[in-house]
Chain A
Amino acid sequence: MKDYKILGKSVARIDTPLKATGDALFTADIKLPRMLVGKVLHSPHAHAIIKNIDISKAEKLPGVRAVVTREDSFDVRWGVFKYTQDHQLIAVDKVRFVGEEVAAVAAEDEETAIKALDLIEVEYEILPAVFEADEAMADGAPLIHEDHPNNVNIHVNIDVGDVEKGFADSDYVREDRFSSSGETYGMLEPYTVIADYKAAGALEIFVPTASPHTKAKALSNLLKIPLNKVIVRRSNVGGALGGRSDIFPLDFITATLSRKAKRPVKASYTREESMTCTRQVHDMIVDVKTGVSKTGEILAQDIKVIMGGGGYSSTGPIAASVPFLVWEETYRLPNVRLNSYRVYTNKPIRGMYRCHGRAFLGGLGMQLDMIAHELGIDPVAIRLKNALQAGEFQATGSKIFGCGLSEAIKNAAEKSKWAKKRGKMAPGKGIGMGANGMMCGFPMGIRGGSSAIIKFNEDGYPTILTGVVDNGQGNYHAMVQICAEVLGLNIPDIHLVAADTEVTTLDMGAYSQAAVFVGGNAVKNAAEDARQQIFEIAAKILDCNADELAIEEGKIFRKNDKNSAIGLHKVIRKGLIDNTPVIGRGSYMPEVSRTREWVSNPKGQQAGTFSFGANVVEVDVDMDTGEVSVTKATGFHDCGFPINLKAVEGQYEGSIASGGLGSSLMEEHLWKNGRMLNPDFLEYKMPLAVDMPEISANVVITDDPKGPFGAKEAGLFGSMNSFQAIGNAVFDATGVWVKEFPITPDKVLKALAEKEKTVK
């Protein structure tokens, strides 16, 4: 590992002391003068036409300051892409799921707001509803959006090579079905919005968001306000896990309440509303047919995916593609076909999740083990055989740059003592592996890049302006570390202003695993630009050329003469008086295909670089109850270069909880007629500290050629491949495959009983 002054060390983060004292403000902690309370009326029906809404009684209730309904929509539909704009963010013609936002009230206090909701009379005409994705796709199913036959929201078709020939050439072919139910994101912070629509026509909004600039653009469209008048302020984000990137009805509704009341409004969703009405995780059915050579080389794959999308499209095309993209980032797939359907249902809206696609990535990774088992090949060996290498191209055309996938697989196997354990453990105990690649950034056009500004005060200390967001993963600290390293300063010397659309420039936020890779490159370039300006000014004082200078500890000196040092503040002041103020400016746009499109043209370079990881999990299965516990997890992560090692470790450890134990073993929403039965943390079980195994988090350093100081995405490998690692470990422990996630005790017992039957 390269030795830097600031980077690569495990240093305490700049943001955490305030979080430790309770002083860090989250949105719900903020109070504005004369602020009202907003409350939302939700649909009790899964699918119904709204015939009439009568708000006259609610408006007359003393203390009510504004009521918002479909009358206040500007008839603008939100969607991530032009072709997915299907959501007005308040129900207009009909409701499409239980919980959809129908009306809202702003009042002097919460009690009055709730009373007013009771006074709103909505007349519905109930329509037949459909809840499961496969049923929604069937002919004759009720149409949720009339212009989408068979309720297909998105169909992604990828066809590479000659799949039929690949199967014909295969020595072994098998077909499996995997499935998973819908989940919750489970971030602790309930969704809250504060909107202050000012008389001058600007909207100030405080909101936990992973992508403030995207939010501003959507609100600009929806509210018909110029983009520079939409001020999305960063407040601390109490966990995101992929679920804070989208635009939500509460954003639009709170802003509209404030516009009408001419006062600031705070609307906080309850736990139940947060779990029902922001976003949930797709349920999924995956059919996969795979052909291999007798040595385990993948020759052909044909994959069909059906995903329950809920009432609206959200990030539909991305959601329908990402599980496959992660798979093609991992293994060589010479002939491969994907038909992925995201289908509208009368359930709440589904979005992207940190552990998105458990049936897909869990299923395909388990099928790889099934194939290995049939052919008598070790699961580690079959992964190494098919693993992509640096310089190779993925199926849809992305080049791999730095790649530590094989090293991660080998290291994880060695450290976990795989060879001594696999197939050799006591009955009920087992070990399994998962591996994957991960894109650092999605193809997002103008939103795929980032820029940063570094300004200096006359005392010599800089402030970074960047659109990068920190949801808790340590992105802010990483930006400061990068800047400090380039400018020869210490971390406390630097101030950071981030994710505030009034001052920061366009950035996708903490979205698509690109904050350190893209935002970090922009900050690095801005710091280098500032350093060059500093050297040019200092060269005049020190009477030398700019390239003869170095900067350390806030002093600039000739490389060959440390005694020549002058303070940075003197250089900054000279810049000011000479009318050459130091303002560092940097940007980064990842080198991705300009013609690649999610649905119409999924070909070409999709991300600027890719990270990789492998994960070995050990389980203990109670053969009487079917309960699976995870006893150990060992991960190796090619994150390029760890800017802050403990922050990188923390991402893997967290993913063993949410992706590992949570998504693999415990978590699922339960439904009755489109109504969620477990919209709370009592009934929806998430991993607790007692459930957790000891975790060994490790890195593989590859110094990515594209990343800032070699860094790239950190953390998603554990959440994206724990499903397969655990599913495979359960097989090692019990001899049965459970192909439905989560792997709950009843499914394990059923599989064991079936196995017993076949043996008899």
Chain B
Amino acid sequence: MSTKKFEVRLNINGELEKIAVSANETLREVLRERLELTGTKAACDDGSCGACTVLINGRPARSCLTLAVEAEGEKITTIEGLAQDNQLHPVQQAFVDHHAIQCGFCSPGMILTGLAAIREQQAELSRNEIREAISGNQCRCTGYAKIVDAIQAASKMKSEE
């Protein structure tokens, strides 16, 4: 592996981080290993499971398929960036209230993906629209039913704002 390092500036959850990275270092590795933001999970390494999802400029992205150098200057939101002042974000709260979390391994990626869909919504999302939106995220525990319930409740709240 090349030892050459590139200095990248990443805006992570509103904080500017300057980090020297290798060309082949993924955003997930930087988040988990360098910054110890371990809420972003590693599960498949090939983009098939969605557990490492973060938001880049508000859109869901696989941090395992994103090189850190590609994220230079981008606005990155990880699961740690949602709760404010010890208050869960409404989507996080909906996941808790609706029993959308069992083992919790897919939850960070699932919550961020749900949040992105809600932010882009024109009107309250239908159950099928939610299923489409989260179909890049695998969950082995819940059968997705209560995840759809939670996102639907958060979507309803947002549409009534």
Contacts and interface: CB of A to CB of B under 8 A. Distances in A.
Contact of A21 (B44, B79, B141, B146): B79
A471 B101 CA distance: 11
A446 interface: no
Given A13-B99, A681-B46, A681-B49, A25 B144 contact: no
A246 to B, nearest CB: 18
A688 B141 contact: no
Given A239-B140, A654-B141, A689-B131, A26 B41 contact: yes
A681 B141 contact: no
Interface in A181-227: 185-190
Nearest to A696: B145
Contacts of A28: 38, 42
A237 B141 CA distance: 12
A681 B44 contact: yes
B43 A17 contact: no
Given A13-B99, A17-B88, A31-B36, A689 B144 contact: yes
Contacts of A650: 99, 102, 141-143, 145-146
Contacts of B130: 689
A22 B106 contact: no
Contact of A186 (B83, B107, B140): B140
A216 B18 CA distance: 43
A13 B100 CA distance: 10
Interface string B136-152: 01111111111110000
A236 B105 CA distance: 9
Given A653-B146, A688-B135, A681 B105 contact: no
Interface stretch (B67-75, B90-98, B118-126): B90-98
B51 A473 contact: no
B82 interface: yes
B138 to A, nearest CB: 6
Contacts of A186: 140
B92 A21 contact: yes
Contacts of A688: 135, 138, 144
A283 to B, nearest CB: 20
A759 interface: no
Contacts of B38: 22, 25-26, 28-29
B138 A686 contact: yes
Nearest to A189: B105
B143 A189 contact: no
Contacts of A658: 140, 143
B116 interface: no
A16 B96 CA distance: 6
Interface residues of A, number: 60
A23 to B, nearest CB: 7
B111 A20 contact: yes
A416 B1 CA distance: 60
A434 to B, nearest CB: 16
Given A21-B80, A22-B79, A654-B143, A188 B88 contact: no
A18 to B, nearest CB: 8
A653 B143 contact: yes
A692 interface: yes
Contacts, number: 181
Given A238-B104, A473-B102, A21 B49 contact: no
A681 B108 contact: no
B140 A22 contact: no
A686 B139 CA distance: 9
Interface string B44-65: 1110110100000000000000
B143 A19 contact: no
A647 interface: yes
- B interface, how many residues as a size bin? 35 or more
B48 A22 contact: no
B144 A692 contact: yes
A291 interface: no
A188 B45 CA distance: 12
A597 interface: no
Contacts of A687: 143
B56 to A, nearest CB: 17
B76 to A, nearest CB: 14
Contacts of A680: 44, 46, 48
Contacts of A15: 104
B43 A190 contact: yes
Interface in A461-477: 471-474
A239 B105 CA distance: 8
A652 B146 CA distance: 11
Nearest to B134: A689
B92 A188 contact: no
Contacts of B78: 22
B106 A188 contact: yes
B107 A111 contact: no
Nearest to B109: A188
A646 B40 contact: no
Contact of B108 (A22, A652, A682): A22
A194 to B, nearest CB: 13
A293 B97 CA distance: 51
A189 B43 contact: yes
Contacts of A666: none
Interface string A1-30: 000000000101101111111111110110
B143 A656 contact: yes
A695 interface: yes
B37 A471 contact: no
A270 interface: yes
B103 A690 contact: no
Contacts of B141: 239, 472-473, 650, 654
Nearest to B149: A646
Contacts of B139: 188, 657, 689
Contacts of A16: 95-96, 99, 101, 104
B53 to A, nearest CB: 12
B140 to A, nearest CB: 5
Contacts of A238: 41, 43, 103-105
Interface in A686-717: 686-690, 692, 694-695, 697
A321 interface: no
26 contacts: A12-B97, A15-B104, A16-B104, A20-B92, A22-B78, A22-B80, A28-B42, A188-B43, A188-B49, A188-B105, A190-B42, A190-B43, A238-B105, A241-B140, A271-B43, A271-B44, A473-B141, A653-B142, A654-B102, A654-B140, A680-B44, A686-B138, A688-B144, A692-B144, A692-B145, A695-B143
Interface of A: 10, 12-13, 15-26, 28-29, 31, 111, 185-190, 236-241, 270-271, 471-474, 646-647, 649-650, 652-658, 680-682, 686-690, 692, 694-695, 697
The 6 closest A-B pairs by CB, nearest first: A22-B39, A472-B103, A19-B104, A238-B105, A653-B143, A472-B102
Given A19-B101, A271-B44, A472-B104, 5 more contacts: A16-B99, A22-B79, A31-B36, A695-B145, A697-B145
